[in-house]
Amino acid sequence: MIGTIKVSMPRIIASAAVAVGLLAAAPAPALAAGGAAHPRSGGFSFEGPFGVYDQGQLQRGYKVYQEVCSACHGMNLMHYRNLGDRHGPFWNPKYPNPNDNPVVKALAKEVQVPDIDSETGEPIQRDATPADKFRSPYPNATAAAAGNGGAAPPDLSVMAKARHDGANYIYSLLSGYRAAPAGLTIREGQHYNPYMAGDLTPFWTGDKHHVPEGGFIAMPPPLRNGQVTYDDGSPQTVDQYAKDVAAFIAWTSEPKMVERKQAGFGVIIFLLIFAGLTYASYRRVWKGVAH
Amino acid sequence: MSEHESTYVPKTGVEKWLDTRLPIIRFGADYMSLPTPRNLNYWWTFGGILALCLMTQIVTGIVLAMHYTPHVDLAFASVERIMRDVNGGWLIRYVHANGASMFFVAVYLHMLRGLYYGSYKAPREMIWIIGCVIFFLMIATAFLGYVLPWGQMSFWGAEVITNLIGAIPGIGEPILIWLRGGPAIDNATLNRFFSLHYLLPFAILGCVVLHLWALHSAGQNNPVGILIPKDRTKKDMLPFHPYFTLKDGFAIILFLLLFAIFVFYQPNALGHADNYIPANPLQTPAHIVPEWYMLPFYAILRAIPDKFGGVVAMFSAIGVLFVLPWLDTSKVRSMRYRPTMRTFFFIFLVVGVGLGWCGGQLPDAPVVPGFGGVVLFDGNLNSYLWLTRLFTAYYFLFFLVILPFVGLKETPLPIPATISEPVLTGAHAMPAAAPASPEKKG
Amino acid sequence: MAETGVIPEGEGDPNRRDFIHIAAGAAAVGAGAMIAWPLINQMNPAADTLALASIEFDLTKVQEGQQVVIKWQGKPVFVRYRTPAELQRVIADDHASDLKQPQTDAERTKPGHEKYLVVVGSCTHLGCVPTFGAGDYGGWFCPCHGSHYDASGRIRKGPAPLNLVVPDYEFASDTRVKIG
């Protein structure tokens, strides 16, 4: 009978592994009827355990953000100096301190930021420095909401982490606008996007079992072909702009990702060696000890 | 164990001087030479792993508190400043955030080991009860900590969970306002939650000392579950060091590998994307779920249609663990020798995982999509609501009915007289002289 | 970590036996160091703190005979526009016998901009902020423990050991200094 005992331990291991696996997956919520279309893949360079950011893409993405998105969306966790951080869009090994990076200084200088005159206390506008935060398009949240029909455009600093499958979602959303299917009642000031989360059932007059995917978004399609000039020969298309700005937001959301993956590789190699040595030591100590 | 004789002999003059004044070296030496049942398997390594988890959380937590600002306007940005500007801050924060999950992985496995091998039975009731206190404090600490980044899930999690207290008839509302420091979750709440989140881990540490004290007083259980008579100490026991320090150490490194994979490659997989949206008291996220380790209890809460009833059920699910030593009527500790009970145990395991799964689903969503089902009372039988109720019923039946009755009715398998017997004879027959393979039996 | 004393006897080659335990112990020490470093390094100045390492200041804001106190890296910096009389006095004292840290005024200013003195406003004794225009030498007087500085920021009397520190700075134009 004791023989059967041996079965129980692997069974517990297997069950525990399943338990951990299932529970890890559990927080992904089941969406209500309708739901959003599954994001398309942007084929990003930073995916996978060894993926890194593509510096050219980040530079283009910054340009798109600066020329298009920043009119409405702030990035209040970003400073101009961050553009020159290691693995960032304008990182240059010659300037380990990004505050000295001439490209970063020049980019900051292009922007006017509000400040208080240190002598008179009056509000002034001055050239930004690398230490300044990205200019906010609105003086405060109330002004942002009032200027946009009541819905303040969200801050984009950590947007790629604030949405499931962030970079692909941003890419799909920005490049995924399309004409609303016939039978969908569009509300005033709203736009249809199949990648937006939501439930369109109340607005759908067609077949109840085939409610279109997606939801309404207040932002009109922000990108047009040829809108932003690229000087590296990349295609000047909505698809490319969306990809580049999604990559840029992925970087602003997780600027230490490359460091993290590189450190992780070293740590895991070390732990494997450490585990091997400890196991050898353990086996040697237990050699000849029945248990 | 408690009568374990000290074999420490102070060698140098300094050691002798210290030994008569503060015998701390003797304490450490006695601890290291503690006789430990030689048949402990890898399921016994989670104690050491949990000690490591607690220390990791305390150390990284103290460090994070050096940079964190507990204010509603600054908390979210201060956490992101840790991620961006503080040297290595991203690593420390990800270790702390994922460390909470790792802590719960280890504690659940540790508790299941205790349940399977009957480690809660006489004379070890106090070890188990203190362990339950630790588990309860862990849940409280984890909940308080989850509020601190002040994201959407932080805020709405705090809102929903504190509202549970408001469900208590009569006194609930005043207690709720007292707990929050106002009519709503606000700056006062965040500040006190930060203070308590810093305090509770030290309460856990104190309980861990009691847990170990009780353990060394009653002696460790073992996979066979029998008490080891004093005259067999030499045959059945091995000194803790180096035998179990190395075994625990090896297990800890394997655990760290799992930990590292999450921290470095999937740091946000166990969290929720909504918590990277700053808290907004005017807008609730579409789907509120607690962290994965709370999901089974959250499912039990939602299984009961009455608000107060749900709260009672949820706390009872933890409370029943405290009386577990008196619910189990069997004299046999290890479920190795209780085949009937073992079957119920594995069903319990599946049910526990199932409750966790249900806790993450919308209650009205169908379990089998595209299948109609029948409406019973307030919900479709083919919905997570009824599946959760089925699992909840088994959860309580297991403790309140199955454990007491099976203990009285079952016929256990023959139990070896000594722990060496299954090692040296029977299915594990192995001439004592020949080198035994240590991993032969799990 | 792994003591050899408890190891069952009769194990093979003792050198090899020890080696594996030493290697495992060394790896454990290495792991400890790897863990300790981030915990120590996190207390070093963060990137946002370092980003504020330099500031610019408009000298037209200082009147003759006055000083303006600005904050640089969390410390006060005195920008003083000295009168010809003050200048004369500090140059006359360039080789005075009571200078604890002998320095000429020219060594503490920029050529062509001698009337401006830029010093960190922390007493070199224990860090208090000296009071402008007080003390026996017409410079600063530290109220905490009675150190007297002249108008060149040099310590003349009292417990402070060194002159007020001149930070790294440069003239971006005739009327702007960049400190740091």
Mean pLDDT of all residues in chain C? 88
- Write the pLDDT tens digit of every residue in B263-280: 999 999 999 999 999 999
The Cβ of residue A183 has, within 10 Å, a number of other Cβ atoms equal to 13
Q: What is the 3-state secondary structure (H, E, C) of B175-202?
A: HHHHHHCCCCCCHHHHHHHHHHHHHHHH
> Which residues of chain B neighbour A279 with C-beta distances below 8 Å?
250
Q: Compute the nearest-CA separation of C89 from chain A (Å).
A: 31
pLDDT over threshold 60, residue B245: yes
Helix (H) or strand (E) holding B42: none
- What is the distance in angstroms between the Cα of C35 and the nearest Cα belonging to chain A? 10
With H, G, I as helix, E, B as strand and everything else as coil, classify residue B304. Answer: coil
What is the Cα–Cα distance from A99 to A92, expressed in whole angstroms?
A: 11
Q: Which residues of B195-225 are buried (b: 16+ CB within 10 A; e: fewer)?
A: eebbebbeebeebbebbeebbbebbbbbbbb
Confidence at B3, pLDDT banded by 50, 70, 90: low
| Contact between C2 and A285 using a beta-carbon 8 Å cutoff | yes
The phi-psi region of residue B263 (left if phi > 0; otherwise alpha if psi is between -120 and 50; otherwise beta) is: alpha
pLDDT band, residue B233 (cuts 50/70/90): confident
Cα–Cα distance for residue pair B275/C3, rounded to 1 Å = 48
Residue type, B274: D
Helix, coil or strand: residue A115? strand
Can you read off the two tokens belonging to residue B428? 């594990």
- Please identify which residue in the block is written with the tokens 């979210």: B76
**Which pair of tokens denotes residue A137?**
């398009």
- For residue range B105-117, list pLDDT tens digits in order: 999 999 999 999 9
Of chain C residues 130-159, which have a CB less than 8 A from chain A? none
Contacts of C142 (CB under 8 A, 6+ apart): C123, C125, C128, C129, C130, C131, C148, C149, C158, C160
Instruction: Categorize the per-residue pLDDT at B313 as very low, low, confident or very high, splitting at 50, 70 and 90.
Output: very high
Q: Distance from C69 to chain A by nearest Cα, in Å?
A: 11
Least confident of A179-183, A282-286, B123-127: A179-183
Indicate the residue type of C102. P
C33 Cβ neighbours under 8 A, 6+ residues apart = none
- Strands (E) in B116-194, as ranges, are none
Best CA proximity match to B366, nearest among C27, C12, A129, A32: A32
Helix (H, G, I), strand (E, B) or coil at B380: strand
* DSSP bridge pairs for A113: A126
Containing A165, the helix (H) or strand (E) segment is none
Say what the pLDDT of residue B159 is.
94
Is pLDDT at A13 greater than 60 in this prediction? no
Shortest CA distance from B252: residue in chain C: C28
Angle at A226 between CA A224 and CA A229, to 5 degrees: 125
**C5-42: pLDDT as tens digits:** 444 444 445 565 689 999 999 999 999 999 999 999 99
- Taking only residues 398 to 437 of chain B, the set having a beta carbon closer than 8 angstroms to any beta carbon of chain C reads none
Among B88, B239, B242, beta carbon nearest to C2: B242
Give all strands (DSSP E) within chain A, no chain letters.
112-116, 123-127, 191-193, 215-217
Distance from CA of B85 to the nearest CA of C (A): 5
Would you say residue A32 has pLDDT above 70?
no
**Does the structure show a pLDDT above 90 at A26?**
no
Q: What is the 3-state secondary structure (H, E, C) of chain C?
A: CCCCCCCCCCCCCHHHHHHHHHHHHHHHHHHHHHHHHHHHHCCCCCHHHHHCCCEEEEHHHCCCCCEEEEEECCEEEEEEECCHHHHHHHHHCCCCCCCCCCCCHHHHCCCCCCCEEEEECCCCCCCCCCEECCCCCEEEEECCCCEEEECCCCEEECCCCCCCCCCCEEEEECCEEEEC
The C-alpha atoms of residue B191 and residue B412 are separated, in whole angstroms, by: 54
> Inter-chain contact A263–B427, Cβ cutoff 8 Å?
no
pTM of the model: 0.89
Question: What separation, in Å, do the N-terminal and C-terminal C-alpha atoms of chain C show?
Answer: 49
Pairs from C81-89 (Cβ < 8 Å, separation ≥ 24): C81/C115, C81/C116, C82/C115, C82/C116, C82/C117, C82/C151, C86/C138, C86/C151, C87/C114, C87/C115, C87/C151, C89/C138, C89/C150, C89/C151
* B438–C contact, CB cutoff 8 A: no
pLDDT of A117 reads 79
Domain B31-425 coded CATH 3.40.1390.10: no
Tokens of B366: 């169908």
What confidence tens digit (pLDDT) does each residue in A99-149 have?
889 999 999 999 999 988 777 889 999 889 899 999 999 988 889 999 888
Of the residues A268, A274, A281, the best mutation for testing chain C's interface (the one with the most C CB atoms within 10 Å of its CB) is A281
Q: Which of B253, B337, B391 is the best residue to mutate to test the A interface, defined by the most A CB atoms within 10 Å of its own CB?
A: B253
Element of type H or E holding B35: strand B35-37
Query: C-alpha distances in angstroms, B320 versus B42, B312, B398, C74?
Result: 27, 11, 11, 56
Percent of chain A with pLDDT over 90: 66
Interface test with B, best of C1, C41, C42 (most B CBs within 10 A): C42
A10: closest chain B residue by CA: B442
Q: Which two tokens stand for residue B63?
A: 């460090």
The Cα–Cα gap between C63 and A117 comes to 18
> For chain C, how long is the longest CA-to-CA vector?
92
CA distances (Å), A41 to each of A168, A176, A208, A222, A246, in order?
5, 12, 29, 20, 11
Contacts of B239 in chain C (CB under 8 A): 6
Q: Does C51 touch chain A (CB under 8 A)?
A: yes
Centroid of chain to Cα B436: 33
Q: What is the pLDDT of residue B427?
A: 47
Between chains, do C42 and B59 touch, taking CB under 8 Å as contact? Answer: no
Is B93 at the interface with chain A, CB within 8 A? no
Tell whether C178 lies on the interface with A, counting CB pairs under 8 A.
Answer: no
Selecting from A79, A278, A280 the residue whose C-beta is nearest the C-beta of C51 gives: A79
CA distance B37 to chain C (A): 16
Task: Over range B212-217, report the average pLDDT.
Answer: 94
For CA atoms A240, A244, A245, A247, the dihedral sign is: positive
Q: Chain A contacts of C31, Cβ < 8 Å?
A: 270, 274
The residue whose two tokens read 């496995």 is B109
Would you say residue A11 has pLDDT above 80? no
Closest partner residue to B85 (CB to CB) among C28, C43, C46 is C46
Flag whether pLDDT at A88 surpasses 70: yes
Q: Does B435 touch chain A (CB under 8 A)?
A: yes
CB nearest A278 (choices: C24, C34, C48)? C24
Residue to substitute from A83, A259, A284, A291, interface C, most C β-carbons within 10 A: A284
What does the pLDDT average to over B241-256? Answer: 96
Cβ contact B246–C44 (<8 Å): no
Query: Nearest residue on chain A to C59, judged by CA atoms?
Result: A119
Which residues from A are below 8 Å from B116, CB to CB?
12
Q: Is residue B356 scored above 60 in pLDDT? A: yes
> Which chain B residues are Cβ-neighbours of C3 within 8 angstroms?
241-242
Question: Which positions of C are catalytic?
Answer: 145
Q: How far apart are the C-alpha atoms of B134 and B200, rounded to whole Å?
A: 10
How far is the CA of B127 from the CAs of A35, A93, B215, B316, C99, in angstroms? 49, 57, 6, 20, 72
Please tell me the distance from the alpha carbon of residue B156 to that of residue B152, in angstroms, as a whole number: 6
Predicted confidence band of residue B428 (pLDDT cuts 50, 70, 90)? very low
For A98, nearest residue in chain C (alpha carbons): C51
User: For chain B, what is the mean pLDDT?
Assistant: 92
Contact criterion met (CB < 8 Å) for A281 and B246 = yes
Query: Which residues of chain B does A10 touch, with a Cβ-Cβ cutoff of 8 Å?
Result: 442
CA distances from A126 to A108, B272, C28, C169 (A): 11, 39, 54, 22
Paired residues of C76 in beta bridges: C71
Task: Give the 3-state secondary structure of residue B223.
Answer: coil
Residue B102: helix, strand or coil by DSSP?
helix
Going by pLDDT thresholds of 50, 70 and 90, the confidence category of residue B435 is: very low
Cα distance between residue B363 and residue B359, in whole Å: 8
Chain-centre distance of CA B115, in angstroms? 12
